[in-house]
Structure 1
């Protein structure tokens, strides 16, 4: 396994008096796919928000490629190649698909991929490039949110609940895209409530409970762990 490209050390996040993340540590090897799973409110999205720079942790360290970026604002982390696809997509609905992609490219102008590369990866977006993004279906909007991140050619992409609210067929398409992203060499950190699907895609998994990592290990082993199965996976 290669050296870690992303290191999270003793991360703590609080909202007022509520401790959302308690002493979370994990590493992500370059080119790997790590899944963070757990129940709603376990702190998964707060971890990504702190790693991406959207919120400032109470304590802890975030390193990207060995460089401490804990105090760097979000736009500096994007410029360094750490890009978040947020929960809820947050596309700009009044702009066209093409204009949304241009905004993503602007984040890392020198490294950005050509727009055509995104249309090859997401053919449905090529068909709708001139349409307002708000007119797309939920699944298509999710594809656009991922494409907007990928056009910046990130080193690490953080995916926050990419399958939320999608029909089963579209969930399959989203996970197929995640596999393509990983196969291209981009490192992926995946937060996903569909724990079984996330762990099947991942190399390593971490199960969060009330802001702490309760179980960690190879994803294939977590899929067989009776404690994880009982609490999060259930019977297929």
Structure 2
């Protein structure tokens, strides 16, 4: 069972901020997403989550009793949840780590003092929970990167990073869903399309889902890309 201490305060004229007294974790992420969905439905308002906060947007009007609203929210937050209550989806994402698709990998390996095979083994050995989608539509911010692969972002960002590039920045790894400038170290690329604005659900992922990478060859990349019409 998961339960957390929290503090609710007013933020501006119309919103409330819920701050959780706990460091970020996957259990807390799942708890936040469950509470976010429940409160959004109950109050019919938009909520935004951070690592350990919930922003309840535009929930206050001139007729709102703040005390009653805070009590209503607190009642929901005080209901314990099971870790299994949030339905995460595990996505296994193919990545080609060859030089053709990994323009930064050689220099990155030198900086983290690992061989390229070691980086691939380490990077593909873990499951990465998605904390947020942002920066670009469908860009997943992934936690749980092995300490050995941590490296500050580039001092000079790249002007163009290819769609599907798998990269590392600081303590996180992520995937660029579109061609974009960016400051993360590109160590590979996936042939899987992450975002399609023409679909009812444009993003392949949602916050709370989990990604696990696996290595593929250049020929595998081309085959998957062709089958996905990329």
> Normalization by structure 2: what TM-score?
0.27
The higher relative CO (CA closer than 8 Å, separation ≥ 6) is in: 1
Q: TM-score, normalised by structure 1?
A: 0.26
